Amino acid sequence: MSPLLSIRGLTAGYGGPPIIEDVSFDVAANEIAVILGPNGAGKSTVLKTIFALTKVLSGAIDFEGTDIASRKTSALVTLGMSAVPQSRNVFRNLTVDENLDVGTYAAPPADKAATREKILELFPDLRAKLKQPAGELSGGQRQMVAIGRAMMCEPKLILLDEPTAGLSPAYLERIFDLLLDIRKTGVTILMVEQNARQALQIADHGHVLVNGGNFASGTGKELLADEDVRRSFLGGTPE
């Protein structure tokens, strides 16, 4: 089966020299794929490039077989793509419910109430907080609001940039469990993660990026067992 998302020879940046160069990988429908790599490797830039927030210099991005490299972000949302940025990913002065509603603006779901209900079933913690400003929530709960907002347009693919950044190990597990639940609803997930070992345990495929280029790709299991990847990115000894 052809991949949901296919990235070929992607070179992109912010107007100056390229930040990512000749990056290639595929994301299959309904998988969890993770991008790993050191700080500054260009992980966020890859996600931003897929979501049309950088300048593509060369290469192709195919989504469901259509080249989307020159589409605008709003058009990508309509095609079924959604994203949660690495920081400032909720409207702190808006309530949780209002934050979820913002997620419907670019591409309203067919039945907004039903979509909201489905999301609250996935994120039961948010139900009691609907009328509270998102800025008053804990970091983990804010992350849930951000992911919930991204789910409100009924996306086929969500791009998540470090969904567990700054969270306690217990919360990290809850977020990863949630991602597995989201995947069960048919959504494909491409995420960047610093918690490499845990991420590879739930990911179908991982893509390691170094200095803006491909370093290694494989299944979660393959990368966990790969000597070079382990030494450089997973802190040495196997579990």
Ligand X SMILES: Nc1ncnc2c1ncn2[C@@H]1O[C@H](COP(=O)(O)OP(=O)(O)OP(=O)(O)O)[C@@H](O)[C@H]1O
Q: Which of 44, 99, 141, 195 binds Mg ion (CB under 5 A)?
A: 44
One-letter-per-residue 3-state SS of 20-89: EEEEEEEECCCCEEEEECCCCCCHHHHHHHHCCCCEEEEEEEEECCEECCCCCHHHHHHHCEEEECCCCC
Segment (H or E) for 157: strand 157-161
Is the Cβ of residue 41 or residue 76 nearer to ligand X in the bound state? 41
- State the binding partner of 45 from Mg ion, ligand X, none, CB within 5 to 8 A by kind: ligand X
- Site residues for ligand X, window 113-172 (CB under 6 A)? none
Question: What x/- string results for residues 137 through 166 when contact with Mg ion is judged by CB under 5 A?
Answer: ------------------------------
Query: How far apart, in Å, are the Cα atoms of 77 and each of 24, 62, 181?
Result: 22, 14, 22
Nearest-approach distance from CB 55 to ligand X, in angstroms: 10
Q: Which is nearer to Mg ion, 16 or 124 (CB)?
A: 16
To Mg ion, the closest distance from the beta carbon of 29 in angstroms equals 25
Structure tokens of 49? 């490039």
Output b/e per residue, 37-60; b: 16+ Cβ within 10 A.
Answer: beeebbbbbbbbbbbbbbebeebe
Give the range of 36-44, 92-100, 171-179, 182-190 binding ligand X by CB under 6 A: 36-44
- Rounded Cα–Cα distance for residues 103 and 111 (Å): 13
Question: Which CB atom, from 39 or from 66, has the smaller least distance to ligand X?
Answer: 39
Interface with ligand X, residue 207, by CB under 6 A: no
Give the other-Cβ count within 10 Å of 193's Cβ: 25
User: Which span (40-48, 56-64, 140-148, 183-191) binds ligand X, by CB under 6 A?
Assistant: 40-48
Where do contacts with ligand X occur on this chain (CB under 6 A)? 14, 19, 37, 39-45, 86
Where do contacts with Mg ion occur on this chain (CB under 5 A)? 43-44, 86
